[in-house]
Structure 1
Amino acid sequence: MNQLPFITDQDFGKLNGKAALPKGEYDGCHFEHCDFTQTPLSNYKFSDCTFSHCDLSNAPLVNTQLNQVRFTDCKLMGLDFSTCDDFLFTVHFERCPMDLCSFYQGRMPATTFLGCSLKKADFTEAELAGADFSDSNLEGALFEDCNLEGADFREAIYLSLDPARNRMKNARFKKEQLAGLLTKYSLQIE
């Protein structure tokens, strides 16, 4: 059986493409200003890693492990997180453009999306209990058959979801957001 190389506690800066990052298990590593746009990162393993100012847009993530991974100021457009290995999947996002990402059936309770753009992101059937969407743009984001119990939407903008299609006990909203919970009724709220 082929064992992946184990790389621990290293800093990687300004890498570009797959050739610059050999397939392996990365633990406690920090990636900064790396461009992995459309770079296949399938079957990689990242544990306790941070990505800062990186671009991973449209990178295939089939069977990729993301365990305690933090993305800060990273461009993550069009990523399909639903293809990641869901074992120990734990991520944190801060100030990341993540439009058109898919989290279909993702098991990600207490995930934080702080100041992110999640336009047209797909959260269908996602487990998001206790998630925090503070200061995030949810324009066109799809929430259907999700567990949103205890999720915090109070500072999110352009929120539109159907409470009848999601579990939402103790989810938190501002009263100004109530119109986004009634969209399907085509009401004129003034």
Structure 2
Amino acid sequence: MADVLQYVVLTDFHFLVALLCIVFNPLFWNVVARWEYRTHTITRLFGSPYIGCYSLGVVIIFLAVLRSHCFTEAMKNQSHLGALENTGVYYLSWMLIGAGGVLVVSSFLALGFVGTYLGDYFGILMEKKVTGFPFNIMENPMYWGSTANYLGLALLNSSPAGLVLTAVVALCYKVAILYEGPFTVEIYRKKDSAKKKKPGKLQ
């Protein structure tokens, strides 16, 4: 990483904006989702947990598109590394982009819009844990698929700045997982506890 950093202008405006977007996005959706879980403010504002969840999802999608745009702009405005401009890296780039795309799309199809965009924080809980593909091959496939996409783009553009930003993406996702995982488990634990306490119907 130290060798890569020597080719990166850390004070470049576009690099800093991309860095800000990368750090901000998971922070935003975690803070807002937990706020909603505790206060139900978004649900009350829109009059429905579903509309609230869809609205937050649209904002998250917009922020993701903005992040990708800033990532691309940061790569355009920095130097390229000639050592990465070869056939092997080119094919590896597309393999990463393809695999990342499969993980992201299949995760979305398995979870649905509400499941993907924090529906459980709105009280919209799934009946059971999703265990089919791609969740049967790894935890958090959408996060790691997205990381693979960024890595593929960085390699495709022979961009040291892109590699550094991809490392930050991976780090931010890792931190997000540490916060999201236990919190989501607790949400479903409370759901199961409530079910057990609920009296059964008289026969």
Structure in which a larger fraction of residues adopt helix = 2
| Structure with greater contact order relative to length (CA < 8 Å, sep ≥ 6) | 2
Look at both structures and tell me which one has the larger radius of gyration over its CA atoms: 2
TM over 0.5, shorter chain: no
TM-score (norm: length of structure 1):
0.17
More strand by share: 1
